[in-house]
Amino acid sequence: MPVNILMPALSPTMDKGNLAKWLKREGDKVKAGDVIAEIETDKATMEYEAIDDGVLAKIVVPEGTQDVPVNQLIAILTQDGEDPKTAVAAVTAVPAPRAAPPKAAPTMTPVLQPAPVVAATNALVAIATPHGHGNNRVFASPLARRLAKDAGLDLGRLQGSGPHGRIVARDVDTAKSGKGGKGGTPEAGARSTIAPPSDDKIRALFEQGTYDIVPHDNLRKVIARRLVEAKATIPHFYLTLDCNIGKLLTAREEINGAAPKVDGKPTYKLSVNDFVIKALALALQRVSDANVTWTEGGMLKHRHSDIGVAVSIPGGLITPIVRRAELKSLSVISNEMKDYAARARAKKLKPEEYQGGTSAVSNLGMYGIKDFAAVINPPHATILAVGAGEERPIVRNGKIEAAWVMSVTLSTDHRAVDGALGAELLGAFKALIENPVMMVV
């Protein structure tokens, strides 16, 4: 039986990808585990491995093709003994899955592939079951059924966007926001939305020939969508305070000076941001009620501090995660972040290296920014925005003196971390960052 190779969903935020390169050619034999293509997602370039043995009978989407929708047929694999021409003809006679529209929220959604073709995507394939009887059957993925049940939604009133109109998780998310019903749902109309002005109306405000149009790439589209979702669905609350980092700068200089060397190079070089990551991780352990994620069903209270760190890359940013940062030394955090930053800029991070996390740090101090407020990156409930360390006048014992001061702003999801709890967390951070010796005891 021929195997349909579809554009895979390699990250929760991916709805399209670029087929960068085919590493196998038509007629090549393929073994399970062979890397057959390179796929550019919104965040990284990833290798696509075959999960079946066979012969690459037909390349449907040529390399270099941009914006290939997830689940679109990209190639056909035949089994031993099958005639490639007959198999290709049989497969191409089956309608290809519809391109999925942009998702209302990031989700890893199981999909049903068209019979009788066997999908060669990954273990996310799930068989949807009928709902109801006779001609009133509703086809939906198991995840969509569970989410709809939890939300009290009638599947029969939802519009499916999956293959052949199947209801998938993003359709339930859309319906919960009041925008996804066929003829209205209990939530329909609960929220009013204002459509942004069209491109034509915006361009009409400017004289023709005075601007250039730079098309959005996948990364910029995803960032824009997630920022809108975050600000529209998360009630942001902001807390700012100043930290005296004089002791930190002294400790940093002494630690870096004492770093052992290999081939004449120090094995680590700590930055102020490394101290910030460690201090936030420990503060979340001290104020554990703030180390949480909001869900409609209940609060997720995390045992470890997995700290995302915003890294600027061409066209946007990505947030690799230092897992269990509270348990790691400053030198380990420093070297881990250098590796993450280098691979992030080369788009070589794996999804598990930038998905999830319990909080995040965004540092613009290197650009001379004094203070700012960052947008929370779901599923986090907090993010710490760090400004530049600079000499400022302070009053101590009635006298004005100079000190190295750094302003930080904590953005919180007010559903999960209210003002008092956020202030407690920020106070714990301040105590650690101003007395860095407390990070190593």
Catalytic residues, by residue number, are 414
CA 38 to chain centre: 20
Q: In what order do the strands lie in the sheet with 307-309?
A: 236-244, 399-413, 382-396, 359-363, 307-309, 321-322
**DSSP string covering 259-296:** --EETTEES----HHHHHHHHHHHHHHHTGGGSEEE-S
Cβ within 8 Å of residue 123, ≥6 positions away: none
Kindly report the three-state secondary structure assignment for every residue of 172-233: HHHHHCCCCECCCCCCCCCCCCCCCCCHHHHHCCCCCCCCCCCCCCHHHHHHHHHHHHHHHH
Q: State the Cα–Cα distance between residues 112 and 117, nearest whole angstrom.
A: 11
Query: If DSSP codes are grouped into helix, strand and coil, which group holds residue 148?
Result: helix
Q: Determine phi and psi for 319, rounding to 5 degrees.
A: -125, 80
